[in-house]
Amino acid sequence: MWCAAAFTAVLAFVWPGAGVAAPHPFPAGSGFGGHVPAGRFAPQREVREPWVEGVTPPLEDRLFDATYRVLPNHNILKVYVFDAAGYESAGIRFSGRVPHQPRDLSAPELYHEAALLIRTAFATLPNLQTVDVWATIPVPHSQATMVESTIFSVSADRQTYERQASTPGLSDAQFLSGFGRLWVAPEVPGQ
């Protein structure tokens, strides 16, 4: 008897949905009459979207949806959101290359897109404390080298964001420089 139970448990673990009836939490008289329709309470498979990299997919989906709509070129590559012990942080990586054109973004364009992404991230996730935004130049894997493809980065915290956002008339460059953690690669045009 124990051998059959062990075999059933292993089979259910190795091959979910193998036709093995799993016990259910509904007692007779619970409205289901002791019967649970097949598949009704099967565990759901987690679907990972290509832009999701962190540990909080629902927040990452929200952030990706909001940021994807903000950029005119739709060049969000990845979003990361980490929510641990009540502290939320995020990362947004976007393309420093103009889609369908043989040119890269200039410094003013990078500043503008990064400022939009920071504003959108803090507006979308009210518990977000920090967000890192960086631009990379996508390179086909076959052409990848040891050369770093990151051309821009900025780290923003909520307290500084709220101060910067409440200061009228700041340019994108002024808005970003208020965070004190801004880097632009020397080869980026328009600095």
Q: Where are the domains of the chain?
A: 57-140+147-184
pLDDT digits (tens, 9 = 90+) for 2-53: 344 433 333 333 344 444 344 444 344 434 444 444 444 444 445 555 555 6
Helix %, strand %, coil % of the chain (to 5): 30, 20, 45
Angle (CA) 90-153-105 rounded to 5° is: 115
Asked if 154 and 172 count as a contact pair (C-beta separation under 8 A), the reply is no
Query: What CATH number matches the domain at 57-140+147-184, 3.30.70.1350, 3.40.225.10, 3.50.50.60, 3.20.20.140?
Result: 3.30.70.1350
For the entire predicted model, the pTM comes to: 0.70
**pLDDT tens by residue, 119-172:** 999 999 999 999 999 999 877 667 666 555 899 999 999 999 999 999 999 999
